[in-house]
């Protein structure tokens, strides 16, 4: 029987591809859900490296995706295993619960993966308030509960749990694409959509980027934006001295792998890319210095405890902590 995969971001695609190559899978169907042209462009660019067979790309509103996935799931009926790209997505879990399977595998979706073992699965429903989705679950008698037992394919240091079996993702395929590179005396900043999420004032964020530019004696500073950052903010960053905005055609890890040269320093905030870059580029010998800068994030979206945990976890993976003046 086939393996079914469902993903909805470039990072999830990368980790699905790593699973395919590390487990030597051949008989699989991958479903890609996407919501913007940039998302699917990045995934297509990634696939020029991984050459993964994509069964279907489904764009659109969640309602349309629900309808297509229901049709697909009822047609497939069963599979050997299903790979879920986002454990906290009702759409991913919805497909998983339509199809009968022998095994469920959850793949990494960034640092939030650390939250999965702490999630109270027994008391959580996948869909609570959405009327349309709730009707679909009830009408077709789809289980509205999280999986009680699954494997977790992860790069992170997480121990086996009673109901979670850890499978280590060593990023071996993307590491195999790494070739010797020149290093420039440059710095690369990994952007995040904190302003767009109302977690920090725009001026504070721009000032932090200014301080990073002045703090690192680099010949050039590049800014690699998140696909969720708005053009208005990027235009302000572009006006700063000695900075270049990179157009993100792939995820940052693949950009560095394919680049002709490496920066001396990579600087970010709470992005899990800081960890994956460290694991890929510094696994055999130290090629670049990687830093996490702490920003004064407000607690409108996340508690201070969760913000502290994110920073501390990133530092625990060998990323250096710096405080901006």
CA distance 100 to 142: 11
CATH number at 284 reads 3.40.50.11110
The per-residue pLDDT for 132 is 85
Based on the fold, state whether residues 52 and 10 are members of the same structural domain: yes
CA distance 98 to 81: 13
- Put residue 228 in one of left, alpha, beta given phi > 0 → left and psi -120 to 50 → alpha: alpha
Based on the fold, state whether residues 307 and 201 are members of the same structural domain: yes
pTM: 0.92
* pLDDT tens-place values along the chain, 325 residues long: 689 999 999 999 999 999 999 999 999 999 999 988 889 999 999 998 899 999 999 997 888 899 999 999 999 999 999 999 999 999 999 999 999 999 999 999 999 999 888 776 666 788 877 888 888 888 888 888 888 899 999 999 999 988 899 999 999 999 988 877 788 889 999 999 999 999 999 999 999 999 999 888 777 899 999 999 999 999 999 999 889 999 888 889 989 988 889 999 999 999 999 999 999 999 888 889 999 999 988 776 677 888 888 899 999 999 999 988 7
Based on the fold, state whether residues 270 and 150 are members of the same structural domain: no
Based on the fold, state whether residues 162 and 199 are members of the same structural domain: no
Measuring CA to CA, which residue among 308, 298, 280 is closest to residue 197? 298
CATH number at 166 reads 3.40.50
Based on the fold, state whether residues 198 and 154 are members of the same structural domain: no
The per-residue pLDDT for 7 is 97
Based on the fold, state whether residues 120 and 51 are members of the same structural domain: yes
Give the total number of structural domains in the chain: 2
Based on the fold, state whether residues 243 and 161 are members of the same structural domain: no
Q: Name residue, tokens 């960053």.
A: 237
Among the candidates 173, 190, 206, a domain finishes at 173
Based on the fold, state whether residues 256 and 317 are members of the same structural domain: yes
The per-residue pLDDT for 120 is 65
Based on the fold, state whether residues 19 and 167 are members of the same structural domain: yes
Based on the fold, state whether residues 135 and 190 are members of the same structural domain: no
Based on the fold, state whether residues 166 and 195 are members of the same structural domain: no
Based on the fold, state whether residues 153 and 253 are members of the same structural domain: no
Among the candidates 173, 205, 232, a domain finishes at 173
Residue 48 structural domain: 3-173
The per-residue pLDDT for 20 is 97
């Amino acid at each position: 029987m086939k393996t079914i995969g469902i993903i909805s971001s470039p990072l999830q695609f990368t980790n699905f591809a790593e699973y395919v190559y590390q487990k030597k899978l051949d008989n699989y169907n991958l479903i890609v859900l996407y919501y913007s042209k940039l998302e699917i462009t990045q995934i297509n660019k990634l696939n020029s490296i991984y050459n993964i067979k994509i069964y279907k790309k489904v764009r659109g509103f969640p309602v349309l995706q629900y309808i297509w996935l229901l049709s697909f799931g009822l047609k497939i009926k069963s599979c050997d295993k299903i790979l879920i790209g986002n454990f906290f997505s009702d759409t991913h879990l919805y497909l998983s619960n339509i199809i009968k399977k022998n095994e469920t595998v959850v793949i990494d979706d960034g640092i939030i993966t650390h939250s999965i073992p702490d999630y109270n699965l027994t008391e959580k429903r996948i869909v609570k308030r959405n009327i349309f989705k709730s009707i679909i679950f009830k009408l077709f008698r789809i289980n509205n509960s999280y999986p009680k037992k699954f494997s977790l394919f992860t790069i992170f240091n997480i121990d086996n749990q009673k109901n979670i079996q850890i499978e280590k993702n060593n990023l071996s395929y993307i590491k195999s694409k790494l070739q010797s590179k020149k290093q420039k005396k440059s710095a690369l900043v990994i952007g995040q959509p904190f302003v767009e999420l109302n977690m920090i004032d725009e001026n504070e964020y721009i000032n932090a980027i200014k301080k990073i530019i002045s703090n690192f004696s680099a010949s050039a500073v590049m800014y690699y934006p998140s696909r969720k950052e708005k053009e208005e903010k990027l235009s302000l960053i572009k006006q700063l001295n000695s900075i270049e905005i990179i157009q993100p055609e792939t995820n940052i890890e693949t950009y560095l792998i394919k680049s002709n040269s490496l920066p001396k320093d990579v600087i970010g905030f709470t992005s899990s890319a800081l960890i994956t870059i460290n694991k890929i580029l510094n696994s055999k010998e130290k090629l670049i210095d990687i830093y996490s800068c702490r920003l004064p994030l407000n607690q409108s979206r996340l508690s201070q405890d969760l913000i502290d945990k994110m920073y501390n976890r990133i530092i625990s993976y060998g990323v250096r902590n710096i405080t901006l003046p």
